[in-house]
Copies of this chain bind each other. A is one copy, B any other.
Amino acid sequence: MNKQNRRNFLTSTAMATTGLMASALPIDTPKEKKQLLHHVFFWLKNPASQEDRDKLIAGLQTLKKIETVRRIHIGVPASTELRPVVEASYSVSELLFFDDLAGQKTYQDHPIHQQFVKDCSHLWEKVLVYDSMDV
In the assembly, what is the distance between CA of A132 and CA of B75, in Å? 5
Residues of B near A78 (CB, < 8 A) are 36-37, 101, 104, 131-133
Q: Which of A73, A76, A90 counts the most chain B CB atoms within 10 A?
A: A73
Inter-chain contact B85/A129, CB cutoff 8 Å? yes
Copies per assembly: 2
Inter-chain contact B132/A87, CB cutoff 8 Å? no
Inter-chain contact B129/A30, CB cutoff 8 Å? no
What residue in chain B is nearest A133 (Cβ atoms)?
B78
Chain A interface residue count, CB cutoff 8 Å, equals 41
28 pairs from A and B in contact (CB 8 Å cutoff) = A30-B72, A35-B73, A36-B78, A37-B73, A37-B95, A39-B95, A39-B130, A73-B132, A74-B135, A75-B132, A75-B133, A75-B134, A75-B135, A76-B132, A76-B133, A77-B131, A77-B132, A78-B101, A78-B104, A78-B132, A80-B104, A80-B131, A81-B105, A81-B108, A86-B131, A90-B130, A93-B132, A95-B95
